[in-house]
A and B are shown apart, each in its own frame.
Chain A
Amino acid sequence: MIATLITQILGALTIAAAMMVVLSKHPVRSVLYLVVTFFFISGLYIMMNAQFLAIVNLIVYAGAIMVLFLFVLMLLNLNKEAEPKTPTLSWVIASIAAGTLFIVFIAALKDIVLVTRPGDQVAVSNIGLVKNLGNTLFTKYVVPFEISSILFISAMVGAILLAKREKQTID
């Protein structure tokens, strides 16, 4: 019972933090709220007993990526620059679009026929544990895993190449 409650509270907090990401005027605040969102999501992962992902989410997202965002923000010193105001019409259109999208998605997902299990409770399983997941990852998915390293290398090279200050590439 408590677990359910915790889950629901976590969910509510996630939504709230996500809203703040979008709505806050200050980019740094957005980043911080996003970090908070990720923490809550990790919490939800834990509630689903997906421990490995919870940790990875924290380390990679909240730790690495978000710090990267912060660095960029600070590097460019964009804080002072106020973001131009979005026209009201855009707000209205975006709200309507988002609302419709939500309704439509819900309508679509609601009708999913859940076949494998009777009842609709999320079960507690142990597949999310590091040991089990590691087994799968390094047996069945070992090749994609290795390929992802190539992806990282190319991303790294790309990032360096792009961000390097060089006269002949720029201007």
Chain B
Amino acid sequence: MGFSTIVYILLLLPLLGGLTNGLFGKHLPKQFSGALGTGVIFSAFLCVLMLFNHVNEPVQIDLCNILRFDSFSLEINFLIDQLSVWMSLIITGIGTLIHLFSMGYMKEDEGYYKFFTYLNLFIFAMLILVLGGNYFVLFFGWEGVGICSFLLIGFHYSDPVKGISNSLAARKAFVMNRIGDAGLIFALFMLLSTFGTLNFVDISERLSEGVSMHHLTVLGITLCLFLAATGKSAQIPLFTWLPDAMAGPTPVSALIHAATMVTAGIYLVARSNFLFELAPLTQDIVLYIGIATSLFAAFMALRQNDIKKVLAYSTVSQLGLMVVALGLGAYTVAIFHVTTHAFFKALLFLGSGSVIHGMHHEQDIRKMGGLKKVMPITHWTFLIGTLAISGFPLLSGFYSKDEIIGHLFDQNPVLYGVIMVSVLMTAIYMFRLYFLTFHGTFRGTQSTWEHVHESPWTMTLPLVILSVFSALGGLLNLPGLFFHEGAHWLSGYLHGAPGMHNIVHETPNFSTTLGLMAVASALSIGVLAWAYQNYVRRGSVAKSDEALNGWEKLSNRKLYWDEWYDWMVVKPIEWLGFQTNHTVEERGLKSGISGLGMLTGKAGNALRKLQNGYVSSYLSWMVIGMILLVVFYLLNGN
């Protein structure tokens, strides 16, 4: 089988699965449609594995031409290289596990088949996104995942209590993503007019041949691309949709809003590395945005009480960290962190899903506690996830974070300090979450406590698998410290992607790396000890909303960011809409038009008076007319 066949099968599998479920799912038994949904993704995963074994240099597969003009043409083609295959591996791999998890989680939901339809379509769109061989196809996938995300966030749109807020969250996500999409569209325009093509391979070749570009053009293109990335990857200023997106079912949060879709922005920038390398200013902007996002989101996560909201802000914060890596030009490191983050964040979300499932859809950690006895598997896997994200030594998060931090330290020690604050806060809120959920005494109602149960195997199996990967994921890209031969395997692997091999980064020297690792480990372990002391020994619990003091309130209310946006953007636009409708449209234009009509009427009324019905006056007018006519001719004649 050639590459192209595998790729087509790979793409068709989720599409067919989605279509089958969508068209016939209503009449299929739940078990079957769930198994079908999971099965196609797993088969797709196997396809990707086949690709993974064979790929060594970029292969472009042309499918068809969409639009052909003299000045440019738009094609559908796919690019199989290390980067796209690696991303596909994450998508289908994690996707399979999450599908499996969903089979248990969504068991009682009446929209079961619909859920799997959407999930499969999402995987399809995501694969299009990462496998696309040009920006145009990427845009197809880009919008596709946005739509699927919209559908899945608003999955319970008709819920009597939360239906409206769910649909509002979905709308917010879609609209904010649309802002980013507009950026991507402009990037496409500028790329088209600069290069005449949108193919990654062609553009990167042109650039490596040394095609000169105006620096403003590059700046524009990269800024537009980055705007798109901020939309999808929830960076400042477009991050506020992600926490709201937690309205969707938990597997959705795990798949879309932690592991795959939100990393599309990272992928986009990594894919466009050849452009970003030419725009140092953009890179700086990327760097600072990443640091700011990471810091603010971590701060906001400190006093969230919804188990999923904590994880959402943590996702934003981690994405910020990846963006920092991108800003430093360490694209492979960013992808490495994408990978490990996909492992442990999917694990954490699924773990929280298991908790929520066991607690009968209670998400407030203030009503949890002591769950480790009843949910042992969930507890242990969640612990691994927590340790991984907070950078506990030798777990996956430790390595990936450390590389980013190491690069940052090399470049700018001050920013290193700033980002360490974010890392510290990450450890704090994650341990707080963990201890409040699983330790201490149960704080919910008695009847709930009696029904809390461990989840079925379909849900725990993915947890176990993911916890293994979370623990060992660091092996993919070990620093040169341990094995000189096997070190930086992933970075080396990804160098095959277009443009990547041109980017050379010096890894920090031995002693610095060791020092930084020591600091990070110390931080993580220190926070663990403090949190244990605080939450388990002293039994601290999360305060109620009223009892929060100054900074806690700020954190809990997300720095009032949504309120700011509401006040600065939403309200003015709504005001504008209202005023335009009532003042300009109704009072201005419409009455202007009817004013013209009335003017005509008035003029007619005035002229009507002349028609007074008296023959003699008509005759007088006639005489006057005759006089004027003759005078006119006399004057004209001479």
Using CB atoms and an 8 Å cutoff, list the residues of chain A in contact with chain B.
90, 93-94, 97-98, 100-101, 104-105, 107-108, 111
Contact = CB atoms under 8 A, between A and B. Distances in A.
B631 interface: yes
B620 A104 contact: no
B616 A101 contact: no
A156 B561 CA distance: 96
A97 B620 CA distance: 7
B637 A94 contact: no
Contact of B630 (A97, A98, A105): A105
Nearest to A105: B630
Contacts of B633: 108
B624 interface: yes
B624 A97 contact: yes
A104 B631 contact: yes
Contact of B637 (A90, A93, A100, A111): A111
8 contacts: A90-B616, A94-B616, A97-B624, A101-B626, A104-B634, A107-B634, A108-B634, A111-B634
Contact of A104 (B616, B630, B637): B630
B297 to A, nearest CB: 90
Interface in B404-453: none
Interface residues of B, number: 11
Q: Is chain A's interface secondary structure helix, strand, loop, or mixed overall?
A: helix
B623 interface: yes
Nearest to A97: B623
A94 B624 CA distance: 11
B627 interface: yes
Nearest to B614: A90
Contacts of A108: 630, 633-634
A93 B621 CA distance: 11
B634 A100 contact: no
Interface string B474-490: 00000000000000000
Interface in B584-625: 616, 620, 623-624
A13 B620 CA distance: 27
A28 B306 CA distance: 112
Nearest to A111: B637
Contacts of A105: 630
A20 to B, nearest CB: 20
A103 to B, nearest CB: 9
Contacts of A101: 623, 626-627
A46 to B, nearest CB: 31
A100 B627 contact: yes
B40 to A, nearest CB: 91
Interface centre among B630, B631, B633 (most CB of A within 10 A): B630
5 closest Cβ contacts across the A-B interface?
Answer: A97-B623, A104-B630, A108-B630, A104-B627, A100-B627
Nearest to A98: B623
Contact of A94 (B620, B626, B630, B631): B620
Contacts of B620: 93-94, 97
A14 to B, nearest CB: 22
A104 B623 CA distance: 11
A105 B623 CA distance: 11
A108 B631 CA distance: 8
A26 B57 CA distance: 121
Contacts of A107: 630, 634
Nearest to B628: A104
A106 B620 CA distance: 19
Nearest to B621: A97
A152 B458 CA distance: 110
A43 to B, nearest CB: 29
Interface centre among A104, A107, A108 (most CB of B within 10 A): A104
A96 to B, nearest CB: 10
Contacts of A94: 616, 620
A100 B633 CA distance: 15
A35 to B, nearest CB: 24
A98 B626 CA distance: 11
Contacts of A100: 627
A142 B515 CA distance: 130
A107 B623 CA distance: 16
Nearest to B631: A104
B198 to A, nearest CB: 80
Nearest to B620: A97
Given A101-B623, A104-B634, 17 more contacts: A90-B616, A93-B620, A94-B616, A94-B620, A97-B623, A97-B624, A97-B627, A98-B623, A101-B627, A104-B630, A104-B631, A105-B630, A107-B630, A108-B630, A108-B634, A111-B634, A111-B637
A9 to B, nearest CB: 30
Interface string B65-100: 000000000000000000000000000000000000
A104 B637 CA distance: 14
B614 to A, nearest CB: 10
B635 to A, nearest CB: 11
Contacts of A111: 634, 637
Nearest to B616: A90
A101 B224 CA distance: 80
